[in-house]
Structure 1
Amino acid sequence: MAQVNFVDVLDDNAIFEGSGWDALVVVTTDISKSGFDEVTLLAEHGAKVDKRVGLSPTLLFAPGLAGGRLIISPVKNSQDDFEDVRIFADAARSGIKLAKDAGAIRPLLVVAINREERYQFSTQVAALACGQELWRALERREASGDTPAFEAIGLFNSTQASQSLNAIEAGRNLARDLCGTEPERMSAPAFADYCVAAYQDSGLTMCVVEDRDVLERDYPLLSAVGRSSFAVSRHQPRVVKLEYVGEGEIEHTYFYAGKGVIYDTGGADIKVAGGMAGMSRDKGGAAAVAGLMKTLSMLKPKGIRVVAELGLVRNSIGSEAFVTDEIITSHAGVRVRIGNTDAEGRLVLADLLSHLRIKAEKSVKPELFSVATLTGHVVRCFGGYTATVENAVAKQAGVAANMAHLGQVWGEPIEQSVLRREDFAKIVDPSGAADILSSNNGPSSVTARGHQYPAAFLLEASGLSAHGLHSNKPMAFTHVDIAGSATEGHPLYGSPTATPLVGLYKYMTLISK
C-alpha cells in the first residue's frame, strides 16, 4: 500500500538549503508569526509584490531555504467562534498539493503553534490531512504503477509523533483502499484477501468464514442479504473475524461490527433512477474497522482487547434474492420481518453484533459499536458529519460525548443523536407474525427518525436489548452512522476518508485510561 511517510524534525536548521528537505510548507494563521525570521521576511516582502501571499496558498522563490521553495498556506478564520481544527487540515492540504505540483519530493511541514485548546493537535491533524490529499485510488495505482508523491514529509518541531501518525495513516490507507475500490476488484472474497495480506505478521488473530453452510447457520440475516450472490463464486459473502490483545492486564474490551456491503443494488427493492451509482462505497464501515485494527496492530496499546467482525456481502438481484415480507430468524433467535430489502445493512450488523454480544458477556468492561454507511437520513440531517446513537448504558457512561470531544479536536466531528421510545415503536410488526420489522417500505431519507430507529432494530435483533441498565450484565452499545462522512468531494465517487478511525483509536487509548 503506497502511503506517505512522516519523519520527526527537531533541528531548526532543517529549514535551510542542504538539510535534505526540498520545500518548506508553512501553515500559519499569520505570516508575521511563522516562528522563523527568514520566513517572515520573505513572506512580508512577497506580500508587497503579490497580494495573494497570506490570503491564499502561494509559492515563493526562497534562496537559502529548503529546496529554494517557500510555500505559505494561510489558515483562515482561526478566531471565528465556530471554526475547528479542520482549518489547519484545509491549509495543509492546499500547501502540500502546491509542493507536489512544484516538484518537491521531501517537503518539510511547519505548522505555526496556536495555543487555543481547540487547535491543540493542529500539527497532527495537518499531517494526516496531507495523507488524505495524497491518496490515490487502488485501481489507478495498480494500472499505472503510481508511486508515492513524496519520499517523506518532515514534521517540524514534532517529538515522537511520526510513529503514531504513520501507524494511523497505514490504517487509514488500508481503509481507503477497501472502501474506495470498485466492486469487482474489491468483491467480498477480494476484500477478505486484501485484509489477510495487510495483516501478515501483524500479531492479530484472524479468520475468514466463507463456507455457505456455516454462514447460513451462524449469520442468517447476512446470508439472506447475500442469498442471490452465492450463485457467483467471486461475489459470495465473507465474514472476517479479527482480534487484538494488548500486553498486560486487560482493563477494557471493545467490540466492533463493520458493515461491508460490497455493492448495494437495493436487492428486490431495486435502486432506480441512477440510485445505484456509488454504491460500491457501502463498505465504508467494515473498511474503517479494518483500518483501525491495522493501526492497533502497529501501535500495540496496552491493557485493551479489541474484537471485530466484518460482514462482507453483495446485495445482488436475481431469482434467489430475498424479498420484502419474508420472516427470517436472526442469530439471536429474533424473528425479523423484512420491510425493505434496501435496508440490508442493519440485517448484516445484527448478526455480527449477536456474535459479539456473546463474547462480550464474558469480557472485561465491554463496549460494543456498529460502524456503517447506513442511512441517507443521516446525510439529510447532518450533511457530511458522522452521527452516533447510543443505548442507555453507553449514554450513562458518556461514550458518545467522549467520542464527540475527541473527534472535535482530531478533525473528525460527530453529531450526537438520541434513541427514543418512538424508535422502538417503528420496528413493531403490525401483523404480529414476527417479533420485529426491519424497516418501513420507504427510503430512510424520507422517513422520520430515519437514522435513529435503526439503532433500536439493532438492539432488538442482536439480543443486546437484554443488556440494558438494569440487567445482570449491562453493555454499552453505540451505533456510528458514517453515511455522510465516509467519503468527501464528489457525491458518488469522492475520496474515502477512513472516518472515524482516528476518533475511535483515540477514544480507546485516551478516554479509557
Structure 2
Amino acid sequence: MSYAHAIACAGLDAANAQGQFDALIIISANLDSVPQPYLDQVLQNSAVDSRIGKQCTLLVSEAAPGQRLIIAPTGPLTRDYDDVRRVFAAAKAGIELAKQAGAVKPALYVSGISELAGYEFASEVAFLGANQALWQPLEAREYHGEAISPIQAIGVVGADDEQLKQMNAIAAGQYAARDLCGTEPERMAPPRFADYCVELFQGTKVTTEVISDIATIDKDYPLLSTVARASYAVERHHPRVVKLAYVPEGDVERTLIFVGKGLVYDTGGADLKVGGFMAGMSRDKGGAASVAGFMKAVAEAQPKGVKVIAYLAVVRNSIGSDCFVPDEIITGREGVRVRIGNTDAEGRLAMGDLLSEAKDLAKNEVNPQIFTVATLTGHAARAVGPYSAYVENGPARAAKVSQQLVEHGDLWADCAEVSRSRREDYDFVQPRTQADDLLSSNNAPSAVTARGHQFPMAFLAIVSGLDKHGLDSDQPLPYVHMDIAGSGVEGGDWQHGKPTAPTVAALFAKYCR
C-alpha cells in the first residue's frame, strides 16, 4: 500500500524545521487567513501576480520548508451551496503543484476553516483530497514502479495521534477501493480480484474466505451463476464469491452486513452495450471495491463494538453461446422465480442470492444493518449527478440510517442523497404471468426509465426475502441500497476518470470513529 501516509506535524514551526518537510501547502478561504510569517510575503507577491488567492500558486519563500510555499485557495465557503468538497478540491490542486515542484514530503496546513460549521474535519478532508490526487492506477505502478508516486508522506499540521490514525485508516481503504475499481479487466479478473483481497487482509483482524468452486456457486448462488455462465468457457474469468469478516474485541453492539457488486466487466450480455457504451465497464466492480475498501479501513482502525461482514459478488458478464438471455426464468436462493427482463441489469442478479444469505445471517446478529453497494444504474447518475443515491426500506428509514450517513458524508466530502422506496417500485417488478414471481427489469435503459434507480431496490428486497422484514414484520431488518453509479469516478468519466471510493469515508465516520 503506497498511499501517502499522514504524519505528525505539531505546528508551523515544526513544518519549518530544517530537513523535516520540503514544501508547505496552505489551504485557506482567502488571503486574510494566511498566517504569519507568510502573509506579508503573500500580499507582496499578489501585487504583481493576481492569480494568488484565486488559484493554486507556488511562491519561493525562505520561510517555507524547501523554500516552497503553495497557496491553495478554496474560494467562498459560507454560501448556501458551499461544502467541504471545496477544501478537498483545494488540497488536490495543492498536492499536484507540490509534486510538480519536486516536493516529496510536503506539510499541509488548513488555515481558518475548521472553526466553520460543516468544516470541522477540514484537515482530514484535505489529506484525503491529496491522496485522491496522488493515486495512480495499479497497472501503472506495476509497470513504472512505486517511484511513480514520489510523495509517500504528508505532514498534517496540528493533527493529533487519533486524527492521524483515522486519516490513515480511511486513506488505506480508499486506496484499496481505487485499485480494485480502477484496474483493467484482465489484471483484475475475478480470480485476481480475490487474490488482491486475500493479500490486502493478510495479517489483519479481517478474515477472508474465497469461494471458487463452480459447482458450489451454481448450487448456492444460482442468480450469480446465471450472470457468470458465459464466462465459464474461460478459466481466468471464472467467478468468485469473496467473504470478509471483522469481529471486534469485547462486546458487539452493532453488526454491519454488506453485499458488493463486483462486475469486473459488463458487456451487457446478450443485450450488448453498443455505440461505445461498453468502454469503462471494467469499473462496474466499484461497489465491491468500495466495500472491500471500507473493510480495509476497519482492519486498520479496529473499532470497538462494531462487527462487519461483507460478501462480494465478483463476476464477469460475458457474451457467448452460453450467455443468459431475456425471458429466461431463474429460481434464486429464496425460491423466487425471476424472469430476466434485460441481461444488462445483471448487478441485481449477482447480488441477489448473497443478499438473501446476508438477510439470514442478520436474523441472529446484534443490532444488524444491511447494505448493498453497487454501480447499478445510469439513472442514479442522471438523477443525482456526482452523488451516491441511498434507497432504504422502512426499518432503515425509521432509524434514519441514510440520513445520518448523508450528514456524516457531508462533513467528510463523501456526499449522497436519500431516495424513497415507493409502492410504484414494487409494482414495477411484479410478474406478468403465473410462470414467474418477479421481473428483474424492463428492457429500456435505466436512465430513461421512471424511478430507474429506485425500483431495483424493490427487486433486491423481494428476491432476497428482505421484503418480509419490513416495519410490519416480527423482525424488522434495516436495509439500505447504495447506488454509486454517479459518484464512483471523477467527472463521470467511467473509462478514464480516477475512482473516488464512495461510501468509505461516510461509513467510517458514522460507525468507526
Q: TM-score range by the shorter chain?
A: over 0.9
How far is 1:429 from its partner? 1.4
2:31·2:39 contact (CA, 8 Å) conserved in 1? Answer: yes
> CA–CA distance in 2 between the matches of 1:473 and 1:200?
36
1:124 aligns to what SS in structure 2? helix
The equivalent of 2:165 in structure 1 is 163
The equivalent of 1:149 in structure 2 is 150
Among candidates 495, 501, 507, match of residue 498 of structure 1: 501
TM-score by length of 1: 0.98
Mapping 1:123-134, distance limit 5 Å: 123-134=123-134
Mapping 1:50-69, distance limit 5 Å: 50-69=49-68
Q: Which moved more, 1:318-327 or 1:491-500?
A: 491-500
The equivalent of 1:96 in structure 2 is 95
The equivalent of 2:47 in structure 1 is 48
1:134·1:149 contact (CA, 8 Å) conserved in 2? Answer: no
2:409·2:506 contact (CA, 8 Å) conserved in 1? Answer: yes
The equivalent of 1:140 in structure 2 is 140
Q: Deviations over 1:163-195 (max 9, x none)?
A: 211111111111100000000000000000011
Corresponding position: 1:86 with 2:89: no
Corresponding position: 1:368 with 2:387: no
How far is 1:364 from its partner? 0.7
> CA–CA distance in 1 between the matches of 2:291 and 2:183?
16
Corresponding position: 1:72 with 2:79: no
Letter in structure 2 aligned against 1:2: S
1:259·1:312 contact (CA, 8 Å) conserved in 2? Answer: yes
2:512 aligns to what SS in structure 1? helix
| C-alpha spacing 1:228/1:452, structure 2 compared with 1 (3 Å) | same
> CA–CA distance in 2 between the matches of 1:4 and 1:12?
20
> CA–CA distance in 2 between the matches of 1:151 and 1:304?
31
Aligned residue pair count: 509
The equivalent of 1:177 in structure 2 is 179
The equivalent of 2:360 in structure 1 is 358
Letter in structure 1 aligned against 2:359: R
2:146 aligns to what SS in structure 1? coil
2:3·2:152 contact (CA, 8 Å) conserved in 1? Answer: no
> CA–CA distance in 2 between the matches of 1:216 and 1:152?
46
- Which runs of 4 or more aligned residues in structure 1 lie more than 3 Å from their structure 2 counterparts after TM superposition? none
2:69 aligns to what SS in structure 1? strand
The equivalent of 2:307 in structure 1 is 305
Q: Which runs of 5+ in 1 are unaligned?
A: none
Q: Deviations over 1:216-246 (max 9, x none)?
A: 1110000000011011100000000010011
Q: Which moved more, 1:105-114 or 1:477-486?
A: 105-114
| C-alpha spacing 1:353/1:177, structure 2 compared with 1 (3 Å) | same
Q: Aligned-residue CA RMSD in angstroms?
A: 1.1
How far is 1:491 from its partner? 4.2
> CA–CA distance in 2 between the matches of 1:306 and 1:396?
22
1:14·1:66 contact (CA, 8 Å) conserved in 2? Answer: no
The equivalent of 1:333 in structure 2 is 335
> CA–CA distance in 2 between the matches of 1:186 and 1:169?
21
How far is 1:120 from its partner? 0.9
1:350·1:462 contact (CA, 8 Å) conserved in 2? Answer: yes
How far is 1:24 from its partner? 0.8
The equivalent of 1:120 in structure 2 is 120
How far is 1:149 from its partner? 2.1
> CA–CA distance in 2 between the matches of 1:251 and 1:163?
22
Letter in structure 2 aligned against 1:61: V
> CA–CA distance in 1 between the matches of 2:334 and 2:29?
54
1:32·1:44 contact (CA, 8 Å) conserved in 2? Answer: no
The equivalent of 1:399 in structure 2 is 401
> CA–CA distance in 2 between the matches of 1:478 and 1:33?
41
Percent identical pairs in the alignment equals 48
The equivalent of 1:4 in structure 2 is 4
The equivalent of 1:451 in structure 2 is 453
> CA–CA distance in 2 between the matches of 1:64 and 1:400?
47
> CA–CA distance in 2 between the matches of 1:415 and 1:53?
35
> CA–CA distance in 2 between the matches of 1:438 and 1:329?
12
Among candidates 379, 388, 391, match of residue 389 of structure 1: 391
1:178·1:186 contact (CA, 8 Å) conserved in 2? Answer: yes
Q: Deviations over 1:382-433 (max 9, x none)?
A: 1111000000000000001101100111101111110000000100111221
> CA–CA distance in 1 between the matches of 2:487 and 2:12?
38
The equivalent of 1:28 in structure 2 is 28
How far is 1:14 from its partner? 2.0
The equivalent of 2:421 in structure 1 is 419
> CA–CA distance in 2 between the matches of 1:419 and 1:268?
29
1:369·1:477 contact (CA, 8 Å) conserved in 2? Answer: yes
Q: Which moved more, 1:401-410 or 1:155-164?
A: 155-164
TM-score by length of 2: 0.98
How far is 1:37 from its partner? 1.5
Letter in structure 2 aligned against 1:232: V
